[in-house]
Chain A
Amino acid sequence: MSNEATLHSHQQEATHGAVAHDHGNGHEHHHEDSFISKYVFSMDHKMIAKQFLITGIIWAVIGAGFSVLFRLQLAFPDATFPFLESLLGHWAKGGHISAEAYYALVTMHGTILVFFVLTAGLSGTFSNLLIPLQVGARDMASPFMNMLSYWFFFLASLVMTASLFVQTGPASGGWTSYPPLSALGDASIGSKIGMDLWLTSMALFVVSQLLGGLNYISTILNMRTKGMSMTKMPLTIWAFFFTAILGVLSFPVLLSGFILLLFDRHAGTSFYLSDLFVAGKVLSNEGGSAILYQHLFWFLGHPEVYIIILPAMGMVSEVLAVSSRKPIFGYLAMVGSLFAIAILAFLVWAHHMFVTGLNPFLGAFFVLLTLLIAVPSAIKVFNWLTTIWKGSIRFTPASLFSIGFVSTFISGGLTGIWLGNSSIDIHLHDTYFVIAHFHIVMGVSAFFGMFAGIYHWYPKLYGRYLNGTLGYIHFWITLVGAYLIFWPMHYEGMAGMPRRYYDYSNWESFKQFVELNKFISIVVFTVFATQLLFVFNFFYSIFKGRKLTTTNPWDATTLEWTTPIRPGHGNWPGEIPEVHRWAYDYSKDGKDFIPQTVPIGPDESKH
């Protein structure tokens, strides 16, 4: 590929292991790509994006598949399914999932989807793909570290996969892994080697996030093309920027928490342990605090939910503007609210801990700060709605998923306000209401953002389109299904149905929900099958999808569409284009759209 030759000099320097470089004293040389360097240990950000995406898709199928299995248990607690025994062996003796297996499935479902799919698969994919393309850079600041970032994620994946196959099973104390359960191997079989593998995998994952995040930040700050001032950047880039900062500052705290947990598990320390009985025996641990872990965990945990949602917000902003052929409404307010969310994200973590015995006086401050997040969130929602208001919307699958995102973000955000009030949370904490809240606002919304991104940028990834009809089917079933699954859970939660129970049919108070649980599960199976349809569409279209004939299929203004249909390593065959305007000149002065590379005309109106 001749484009390869235009690769900027920093590429080579980074390959040679050095970090420092000067722009401009380039020594370009041709090199043939082997299969390994092109598809496996690739340093091209576009290939790394695909690696993140496909790994993410595989994890998504596994993680969602786990939810199918445990929803089977919740819907039919008394039935037996012989196929489960062939699948899970002694974990489902006689075709009935054991309690231990149920907890392991729930834990792995949460861990995989939160970290591996919605963090690595979402932000990893699109930060990698879009940052260099949209700021006008040949690649990431350090392509080598970028490659490492993927391979640390891969290692984390391997370790997590291995944990699924150890004899005592994977971690099973919930995705939050609270001690003392997670600290004491004798407390449950899921707290044995599975827990160590979980911690190891997560530590590798943190390394991957840091390598990626440092790269994203320095690329956005340092590598913007001429004319691309910060306020000319598309909102996607702003979103990835804040996401990376959140990650770089919060994941280390999680790592510290894990280090202490590992010592508690293996070195006889009592950081998190005090006054414990296990199996009737008194433990000697004194002086630790289990709540300390929760503080450390949620100091990451809350920013983490925004690490998941910000990239989705960015992509939705972009897709909504493109598909309604209108400039984004309130660009600076959008940036400002991203900023406000990023700051507040660090100041609200204790809203997950209202019922831990947290001082109510302290709790009051966390209530206030938590409810404050509603302000920037509402600004964003308002701006999305005004952006599509009276637009001539092109209802592509990407734009439908973006609109779906706005809908679910509203529904889920509203229930957040309930939970953010500590007095209401005393009743709702650890019930299905919380499950409903965060699945709608985070799970479904982030997936919608991700789908919007995939449908929209698939042509850039593979030079082909995804099948539109399958896309519409995918959207409508997923949207309706998601509401049918999670809406009823609010009622279950308000009725006091706790989360993380193996079998509700033993409780008189929850018998009323037997049929509802069945209904939810059946919708789950349908929605899961629909996602498989999408996965099929994804892989089929790589080879058989309709080919792109134009470089700019959506008539968008941003830089990625000024590259060739299948850009080589280095993105632009010639010079990197210069940028003259913001990314949202749609329907301006009688023109449908004006790309960022077009200079401002003499009698152009202001936006």
Chain B
Amino acid sequence: MDTAVTAKKKWWSGGYSPFNVSYGKLMMWYFLMSDAFTFGALLISYGTIRFMSTSWPDPNEVFRSFPGMGEAHMPLVFVSLMTFILIMSSVTMVLAVHAGHMRDRKAVVKWMAWTIVGGIAFLSCQAWEWTHLFHEGAWWGRNPFSNINGTVASTNFTNFFFTITGFHGLHVTSGVVLNIVILANVLKGTYEERGHYEMIEKVGLYWHFVDLVWVFVFTCFYLL
């Protein structure tokens, strides 16, 4: 908006955006709302099935390994590291957005690059964890872990785990791809020419959302 904003401006009476945001950001917000419903539906399904079951495997037993540590019993250490990495990448994203506001191209490049590194690191961790579980015999339709009360578990523990963390991983992957595209544009000078770095804000919104979803996924699968 290049119209001067005065205190008495009637935001809703047409001619400009009532929230003073571009349509692109507005769309991103609505898209995130809709995506929240996608994840919400998956997580609620998970909750429903889990509460219907008499017992469920113990995450402290399932997620106890750490790369290179052999049989050491380290419950939830690795996933905490993953979570830490992802949250740090959100921090670097904030810094990138901030640098964008300052129109400091160098800093944008630096922080975007770190965000991408964080995303890739997270995905690599996830790849390791999946492979590890796969070698333990877990996959869609296969569940080697028994319930916490010692009974045989249904396969729904692994079914939901792979489906939901996989779906989240897909989101992270597309986030990384988006970030790379945007970084390339920053390097090309596209946003310098355009006069603002709003694109960074938009991918930033997406990135934070994906992180936020992970917090829920993390809670539901690893903590509860």
Contact = CB atoms under 8 A, between A and B. Distances in A.
A40 interface: no
Interface stretch (B35-43, B62-70, B82-90, B214-222): B35-43
A255 B194 contact: no
A226 B154 CA distance: 60
A223 B34 contact: no
Interface in A215-259: 215, 217-219, 221-230, 232, 248-253, 255-257, 259
Contacts of B6: none
A597 to B, nearest CB: 12
Chain B binding surface SS class: helix
Nearest to A269: B159
Nearest to B53: A287
B15 A270 contact: no
Contact of A268 (B21, B27, B141, B194): B141
Interface in B140-155: 140-142, 154-155
Given A227-B15, A250-B37, A286-B155, A22 B163 contact: no
A288 interface: yes
A406 to B, nearest CB: 31
B224 interface: no
Interface residues of B, number: 51
Contacts of A224: 14-15
Contacts of A230: 12
Contacts of B48: 289, 292, 295
A36 interface: no
Most buried by B among A222, A226, A270: A222
* Among B14, B141, B142, B159: residue with most chain A CB under 10 A: B14
B27 A214 contact: yes
Interface in A255-298: 255-257, 259-260, 263, 267-271, 286-289, 292, 295-296
A27 interface: no
Contacts of A22: 1-2, 22, 195
Contact of B14 (A215, A226, A257): A226
A359 interface: no
A226 B23 contact: no
A227 B13 contact: yes
Interface residues of A, number: 57
Contacts of B2: 22-25
Nearest to A268: B141
Interface in A10-67: 18-25
Contacts of B15: 224-228
B167 interface: yes
Contacts, number: 163
Nearest to B42: A256
A117 B186 CA distance: 43
Interface in A574-605: 579
A253 B34 CA distance: 9
A137 B198 CA distance: 23
Contacts of B14: 135-136, 224-229, 232, 579
Contact of B23 (A222, A227, A228): A222
Contact of A217 (B30, B38, B42, B194): B30
B103 interface: no
Contacts of A217: 26-27, 30
Contact of B194 (A20, A228, A289): A20
B27 A271 contact: no
A260 B26 contact: no
A21 B22 contact: yes
A134 interface: no
B41 A257 contact: yes
Given A253-B41, A288-B156, A296-B45, A141 B27 contact: yes
Interface string B100-116: 00000000000000000
Contacts of B16: 23, 222
A210 interface: yes
A223 B23 contact: yes
A290 B215 CA distance: 28
Contact of A249 (B27, B33, B140, B154): B33
Nearest to A251: B34
Contacts of A296: 41, 45
Nearest to A249: B37
A20 B1 CA distance: 12
Contacts of B12: 229-230
B45 A271 contact: yes
Interface string A488-532: 000000000000000000000000000000000000000000000
Contacts of A103: none
B26 A221 contact: yes
Nearest to B25: A20
Interface in A287-344: 287-289, 292, 295-296, 299
A456 to B, nearest CB: 24
A142 interface: yes
30 contacts: A19-B27, A19-B199, A20-B22, A22-B1, A22-B2, A22-B22, A22-B195, A210-B31, A210-B34, A218-B23, A227-B15, A228-B14, A229-B14, A248-B31, A248-B33, A249-B33, A252-B37, A256-B41, A259-B163, A260-B45, A260-B163, A268-B141, A269-B140, A269-B141, A269-B163, A271-B49, A287-B154, A287-B155, A289-B52, A292-B48
Interface of B: 1-3, 10, 12-19, 21-24, 26-27, 30-31, 33-35, 37-42, 45, 48-49, 52-53, 140-142, 154-156, 159-160, 163, 167, 190, 194-196, 198-199, 202
